[in-house]
A and B are shown apart, each in its own frame.
Chain A
Amino acid sequence: MASPTAYRKPLPTIDVWNKPFWDACREHRFIAQKDNRSAHVWFPPGPVCPTNRSSDWRWVDLSGRGTVWSWVAFHQKYYDGFESEMPYNVATVELDEGPRIMTNIVNTTNDKIHVGMRVGVTFHDVDDGLAIPLFQPLAEGGR
């Protein structure tokens, strides 16, 4: 594990709604809120289901799989912590359960990333208190 001082990327902004998500990431679980009646799953976390405004929801484990909806490569430096990886990628991933998130695609090179690519979650342990969910290619035909 990297020491906290060595990790220079931006840290998540923890709030009352997303704290369970980040706590679960630390245990390498990828979770989201699911409405108990509509079964709608959403992200980022919030107080009510955005489709029926109900607070009758629970946290559920997601498959951690999704499909690249689009992606970009940053050539301009906005964060010192990403400088050594430029041009680094950011992808919008449509999770199999519905929500779209943004993340980095790792364990591949930018020239291999494409819209429609199947990807699955993996975790980068920053320290004992924080793990960042990242995505990596699934084997061709990966569900």
Chain B
Amino acid sequence: MADWPLRDKICMVGIGTTAYGSFPETDSYGLGAEALGKAVADAGLSYDDIDGLIVNRIPSYDRFAEIVGLNPRFTLLTETPGRFSAISLMIAAQVLAAGEASYIALVYGNNGRSQRMMYGGGAGTWAPWGMTSPGAIHAMMYRRHMHLYGSTSEQLAHIAVAFRKHAGLNPNAVMRKPITIADHQASRFICEPLHLFDYCLINDGAVAWIMTTAERAKDLRRPPVYVSGFARQDTLVESSTPDPELWYPALQRVAAQVYDRAGIARDAVDGLMIYDNFTPTVIFSLEGMGFCPRGQGGEFVRDGTLELGRGRLPTNTSGGHHSESYMQGWALIAEAVRQLRRDECGGRQIPDCDVVQYICATNCATSIIFRR
């Protein structure tokens, strides 16, 4: 297969993250502006260098650009679901490769915590039956997984425990107190079969990335992290109801492309960042990428597979959405970059980290492979 034209052509060169928590004194514009400032400084750039802007979860791209004083030649507001973190990155890579911008700032800001965001309720096709919330969709899918493959709620607990353990090594994580399998099992049901500890956090914060071409990246302040490959497959037909295949065919298609495109084998992956809005997506992601056979994800995550210092696949070393911060994939990708820089993660550093893979199992399944 001919090399994928974008392989290693685009780099992550600046990362900025705010504190995570509840910040009613500001909003997503204020948080986003702070993260952008940190990312620009991290890259060693000036605002005058930024000629592309992608804004996510911040309500208005023009207001944000006005606030931070930017007149880019490429500006875009992407949709709010978390699947759009990777999609935003992919769009930026293609814009940079096409020469339509030189340095793109991608800025995510979320003040859902102080706005008391519910992620459920309101109108919708299934509202007359009380069906609402992304968590309920995942609960429905995981019950099906349990039925088909014999997976259990207790298997999900191993995921939550691993991510919380990692958060304990991350001073910026919101939830750092260790939890046990029993704590997970004793936590209240939100939408059965999912417990509270199967759900991600809701908190305020912001993340910004600066992306540019590999040529330009060589001259910047921090060592570049390469976007080696990415792939995407959507599952939108009959998407008013949960996908009967639990997104597996789409994820398999992504897997069939992403490693080839990156020129990196699955076995060479040193760490994973998995979009963990709800614990079942971790199982769907691992199965879909082929880290374990279909249906065996629950067994696979038991006994520390995803834990730093214990398992083969350290996953969500920041604590992820469950324990670090609900930044809808943006902070997971920031963590991927930091792991590959090797000098920012302290006690949660993956040893000899060369390759990190991001995976997002949703109606728009995506994966990105980063290398140093």
Which residues of chain A have a CB within 8 Å of any CB of chain B?
9-13, 42-44, 50, 69-76, 78-79, 81-82, 87-88, 90, 92, 99-104, 115-116, 132, 134
- Beta-carbon contacts under 8 Å, B309-350 to A: none
CA distance A72 to B241 in the complex (A): 13
Which residues of chain B have a CB within 8 Å of any CB of chain A?
118, 120-121, 123-133, 136, 139-141, 143-144, 147, 188-193, 237-238, 240-242, 244
Given A9-B128, A70-B141, A74-B191; 6 other pairs, CB 8 A cutoff: A10-B130, A72-B139, A78-B130, A79-B132, A82-B130, A92-B241
Within 8 Å CB of B193, what residues of A?
Answer: 72
Within 8 Å CB of B144, what residues of A?
Answer: 69-70, 115
**How far does the Cβ of B124 sit from chain A's closest Cβ, in whole Å?**
7
- Asked if B120 and A72 make an inter-chain contact with CB atoms under 8 angstroms apart, the answer reads no
Within 8 Å CB of A116, what residues of B?
Answer: 147
CA distance A76 to B199 in the complex (A): 12
- Asked if A100 and B130 make an inter-chain contact with CB atoms under 8 angstroms apart, the answer reads no
- Asked if B143 and A115 make an inter-chain contact with CB atoms under 8 angstroms apart, the answer reads yes
Within 8 Å CB of A70, what residues of B?
Answer: 140-141, 143-144, 147, 242
Main secondary structure of the interface of B (DSSP, over half): loop
**How far does the Cβ of B200 sit from chain A's closest Cβ, in whole Å?**
14
- Asked if B123 and A78 make an inter-chain contact with CB atoms under 8 angstroms apart, the answer reads no
CA distance A45 to B291 in the complex (A): 39
CA distance A89 to B55 in the complex (A): 38
A79-B192 in contact given A69-B144, A72-B139 (Cβ < 8 Å): no
**How far does the Cβ of A96 sit from chain B's closest Cβ, in whole Å?**
15
Within 8 Å CB of A74, what residues of B?
Answer: 130, 136, 191-192
CA distance A88 to B131 in the complex (A): 10
A78-B128 in contact given A69-B144, A73-B189 (Cβ < 8 Å): no
Within 8 Å CB of A69, what residues of B?
Answer: 144, 242, 244
Question: Which 9 residue pairs across A and B have the least CB separation, nearest first?
Answer: A10-B127, A73-B192, A70-B144, A78-B120, A115-B147, A78-B121, A75-B189, A100-B241, A82-B130
**How far does the Cβ of B143 sit from chain A's closest Cβ, in whole Å?**
4
